Structure 1
């Protein structure tokens, strides 16, 4: 299975820190530590070797000892400051304390215990380091809403369940609707519930102080923020399975689409299997990634996309004529 870009970025950052603490480690040992193949470690090193700070001259790049690398050993010679602890000024530290306190107060009870512990321990260290500056600061997010409404909204967010609302709008009209809650927000002078409204079929912000009643339902949340057009597509076995051979420059397909199966190729390319419910959507996808497509199964899908491209070019020619 191919990994997504955020997963690889985390490993790349960890790789620099690991090699700084463990100089002269074999490729196999590094692969075992990060639970990837030796080939993937070598690809990671190739990526880091051309990464660095603006300027991007040799002295600006992360560097490894070439002789050690040729013998299968990784020895970091230039980290470009990535292994040094971040230094914060007093103003930056106080701002971070305020942000963490606001985060803890607004969504703390929605986080996993380990995540709450990370926020709490970080706050403790920062507060101690900033001393009086942090002690004189008090962050409180005022939520003007019925306590039972806030509690039910947070419960639904934590359980990822839909909510039934009785809501009064700015024109004093009361409506009943079912929403898929995403998060609680605080802006201007009010707090809001960001959600997908099933009756409006769109993303909406509901002022918490205008929610008269909220009840968690058994149905799970199926949409995500940023999906402003229709429901989130959920692939199933009844949808047509299409396999694409793609160049590495089309990796966004793996990151952004619900793929069924992905396999990395030694040259950096990918074999991607995905379920498709709309032939028009698939043609659009193939036209977007056309320069990076190596093969398509079934072949008829590629032929349809090719026909659509030729028809589009013919339309341009006719317009010019």
Structure 2
């Protein structure tokens, strides 16, 4: 028996041995039976050293398994050597996911809920949960193949450490900028819950400095989040849902914004927006639009993105916020470009190097997956577990040398690949998947609860069945699903989404009036919708556009009118192979490669949203490389970011963006006073 083998192989052998015994094994027996532990030495002196080494290794291995959620029970027999009293085993009923009975509709809902996290931090955990439940339910493998898909993103740099702190009941500290303020204050809080609403993530926590519950928007966190080692006791019965319900229900403010006549369709179409007269302000060819808003920060972003085509007349606080964004963006656009070469890719600050434990969990998940899917294609295995061919080859080798103590033919697992199809034999001990971790169970449960507001997701009975089943599996860990909430359906979009879903299921075409916001243009289209999808709180319909004879994604809140246009002409089979029907970015041969420079926090937010490559340029600056359909979106984006980013290339886009921002920062009309306080003399040359 070898004295040194791969650590993953040893741990896998230990799990199989402990699962395969009814009575249990003593440490002495485990040392003798499990491949990877050194056998007894030939001399007493050598044995004394080896025994101490084994004792330390076994304790490390035992703690590793328990930290991964693998329950090890310890029993004491009635008689025997006092040094061998403790017997160790893993009870199958404690190890396995409980038996789950779900019909096809409920299983499909689980797939939708799990895939909701596909682009987020919890994506891996949710997919692992789906894999385990599908295997245990005996219903096969289910894809998210409905007419509606939702995706939630966790691009905020603070999300992952806050999620970890919430799960472990650890306080955190971070810099925070309150709404309407520029200075940051250090906050130390006990996280109680996380929630997503209006496409923004919020933290609910107990503020230790103020001695009260407070809400924090993650986009206003201005530093890294530091998790403190101590623990706290979270309030019993806390749920995030009532807190999310109160967001956006405060006093509504009123803005008066001047815009050129026939423009600003986005502003004019806001609920309750209306043209008004103001005796103190008049300009030929301009209108004054009055509209309500609650979040000054979000409203300022939207108005700043209009550039010189809008001027805030009141209130002064909103006017100042817009002016500040435009001024800072114009100065950033005219500042000298970074001279550093873009060679050093920026590492993910939260990326953790995969270790023995990650591989062990993968193999423990892989065995029941292969057992439940005999003949699965090798390519599917690689895609399912996100591994390379080299990693798959190593995993196969490890599985083929692990098994029950004895390690003879029939004891060892046998994994083969025949004509690209994978089969596994003699794997009964690990054929049932390991119970769901807290993160796995709650990621799916959170997703299921979020789906309850989505029209056409599935019958209520199926949703209830799936939710109850996962809650039962989560057990005492279900509190986490109460502490984290998602609102993926904006009430104002519900009617439109419902009508679009009816058109999809009824194979109908629609005549729509659609706002192309980048061009401030109302266009008329006839579309044949095939799929609905959401990214955070923004909903889109993927449809065949008859005018352009191509598939297009249309944002639901930009559809201003909609009427039935008869039967759909293009069957769903006309969709291009692999067309996902979801996602914001669909590559196009005409896409333009763009380079931006931003501060670190802004880059870490933009990167995931735009699929950008990040490069460390030093001095707190990060380069971003991404593709865009048109560089026309860049001036508005830079205005929203308010000086936290600037365009580097293409050169033409850099100059056009700088000129657009300079014009916007000086005032909304040529020949007028400098409405936002910046004069041409305040800006260096764009070549500076």
Normalising by structure 2, we get a TM-score of 0.24
Higher helix share: 1
Q: With CA pairs under 8 Å and 6+ residues apart, which has the higher RCO, 1 or 2?
A: 2
User: Which structure: larger Rg?
Assistant: 2
